[in-house]
Chains A and B, each alone.
Chain A
Amino acid sequence: MGEKLLLQVENLHTYFYTLQGVIKAIDGVNLCVREGEILGLVGESGCGKSVTALSILGLVPSPPGRVEGGRILFEGEDLLAKTPAEMRSIRGSRIAMIFQEPMSSLNPVFRIGDQMIEVIKLHKKVSTGSARIQALEMLHEVRMPDPEAVLAKYPFQLSGGMLQRVMIAMALSCEPSLLLADEPTTALDVTVQAQILNLMKDLIRKRNAAVLLITHALGVVAQTCDAVSVMYAGTAVESGSVESIFRSPAHPYTRGLMECIPDPSRKSGKLKIIPGTVPDPVNPPPGCRFHPRCYKATATCSQIRPDPVRVGPDHVVCCHYPEEG
């Protein structure tokens, strides 16, 4: 794993202009992914994980969405300053993305082979024949049984797990240096989840590519990731290496999340949950967005938004009163 920064998201703001008001889905998020690193992005449903990934790719549905501010530096270039055509040539080749629902993420009326070949031809400018050979190789690599036959199949003829393998093969076929994986295993059977994650990890390591792995399962982060960023209500609240965050979570929200992981060794049987609910994205609470639910909240917390503070070598937290130890 290199020390060089591959992706740097600085103070990103992405808003949705809806009839109910302006949804501040992303309101000042900072992230960074190093070369070859697997970064886990965790947080409750609706905290803006998917919108973060879509903002990076320039695919926020518009209308109603728009990236309103910030910088997204990828390999030193600001993606927000790129033209649509430049972004298209980056998508699928230098940054690829896979989604949560493999069943609906491929076009139902085209064969798997045609969809893979289309992407390879687009970015690598090769003939159909050689694109087909590369598609076959990729299917081999994702350990797809009988790749030749799979090329001729339609999406509805494959299982969810197989389709997610196809999605991975397609995403990696043009050698991206960054893969955005939005809950790639959530929709799959539990037995298949680990297989797919391990497969992804293997292939990524082999290529020295980096991954932004979106998930809401901290267990997945512990097994798969090198670093982790925790999001809460459109903001990044804590980030650091997996080791340091699991050893000493500094943000009360992160701590709460960890206590929510079911622990089979504890016999109490009672699962802890963080009290309160996710704030309304149209009218988020002022100050620290977590203060209505935080057990340590003070008057400062409800007025002043906490700035990032460094609590370890690469461990940053946005909290006025970070936990110690």
Chain B
Amino acid sequence: MNMLTFVSRRLVAMVPVLLGVTILTFLLSHVIPGDPARLLVGQKASDEVVKRMREELGLNDPLHIQYWNYLKQLLRGDLGMSIRNRRPVVQDLAERFPASFELTFVSLLICVIIAIPLGILTAVRRNHVVDHVARVLALLGVSTPVFWWGLLLLLIFYFRLGWLPGPGRIDLAVPPPAGHTGLYILDSLLSRDWRALGSSLRHLVLPAFCLCYVYLAVMTRMVRSSMLEVLNLDYIRTARANGLPERAVIFRHALGNALVPTVTIVGLSFGELIGGAILTETIFAWPGLGSYMVDSVLFLDFPAIMGCTILVCLIYMAANLIVDIAYGFLDPQVRWG
């Protein structure tokens, strides 16, 4: 089986899941208390207006027809109007998504860059000083709440030392870089806007660290334990019996196999963080999906909540697909079997 059929099979397998999610969000909009038409036209509108709105929205049709219409609407890329600001939800999401994506990506990148070497080091030097220090830091990481870290970082590096900027994605005085992706780093690189690049990078540091700390702890321990497990396997003994230097044993023979569980964690973390970095986004006033979702919930903005749900779900599935493809690269048995 080649990679293409592998990927297309996985894509086909996603269709039922997606349908399930749309049914869920659709039903959600029907079990909520309150009348969507009323919400849309506002409290002061007359009953006549509400009735017309109901007609217009098709709320009097049978449920399955309504679902069908909803699905058609979704396929056109229409997620409805936000109740809160009367803008298409798609437009809101398109603005919010790149912010979340950039933050999550950078944060997990930092995480991976630190966690993999540290995990290897603590595995190879297990029960030595590095291992103990890393263990304490990891414990600290998983047992301290994110908002505490966020506030502490802001307090030290922004208020006290002034080394790094505070809330937001970019300095107010700096115009956002021109470009289509909405990813400030990418856009500023493409348009050679070094000022915007510097500013947005500096803005990323604190939230990215704050977001990655917990995952860093988990991932380091994970790399360590899977490394230790792999180093005990028969083929590692064979590699050593063949006289391979320890460097080759660890990096060529053990690492690839030891990273398989880590790839899963990275993939799932990505899905989790992109819509779930609520505390970090709130503390750092980061205009991402997490804070958008919180606002939507507070405003009972159902089209927005549903839109977010579907988007996050799509991202989660995409992350899973990428994990599966990575498996294919790491493990020939998945690719060929």
Contacts and interface: CB of A to CB of B under 8 A. Distances in A.
A89 B242 CA distance: 9
A105 B240 CA distance: 11
Contacts of B37: none
A59 B239 CA distance: 11
A156 B336 CA distance: 10
B257 A108 contact: yes
A157 B332 CA distance: 10
Interface stretch (A90-98, A226-234, A262-270): A90-98
A99 B237 contact: yes
A77 to B, nearest CB: 16
Contact of A91 (B235, B240, B337): B240
B336 A154 contact: yes
A67 to B, nearest CB: 15
Interface in A54-111: 57, 59, 61, 88-93, 96-97, 99, 101, 104-110
Given A118-B242, A170-B242, 19 more contacts: A57-B241, A61-B232, A91-B240, A91-B241, A91-B243, A92-B242, A92-B243, A96-B241, A97-B241, A99-B234, A99-B238, A104-B234, A105-B238, A107-B235, A109-B257, A119-B242, A119-B243, A156-B333, A156-B337
Nearest to A123: B243
A197 interface: no
Contacts of A90: 243
Nearest to A85: B245
Contacts of B235: 104-108
Contacts of A158: none
Contacts of A156: 332-333, 337
Contact of B256 (A57, A99, A109): A109
Nearest to B244: A122
Interface in B301-333: 330-333
A280 B244 CA distance: 35
Interface of A: 57, 59, 61, 88-93, 96-97, 99, 101, 104-110, 118-119, 122-123, 154, 156-157, 167, 170
Interface residues of B, number: 23
The 6 nearest A-B residue pairs measured at CB: A92-B243, A91-B243, A92-B242, A104-B234, A97-B241, A107-B235
A120 to B, nearest CB: 10
A107 B244 contact: no
A91 B257 CA distance: 24
The interface centre, meaning the residue of B240, B244, B248 with most chain A CB atoms within 10 A of its CB, is B240
Contacts of A88: 243-245
B233 interface: yes
B84 interface: no
Interface in B282-306: none
B241 A106 contact: no
A97 B245 CA distance: 16
A97 B244 CA distance: 13
Nearest to B232: A61
A37 B35 CA distance: 91
Interface in B220-278: 232-235, 237-245, 248, 253, 256-257
A35 to B, nearest CB: 21
Contacts of A93: 243
A69 to B, nearest CB: 23
A110 B236 CA distance: 13
Contacts of B333: 108, 154, 156
Nearest to B337: A156
6 contacts: A57-B241, A88-B245, A91-B240, A107-B238, A119-B242, A119-B244
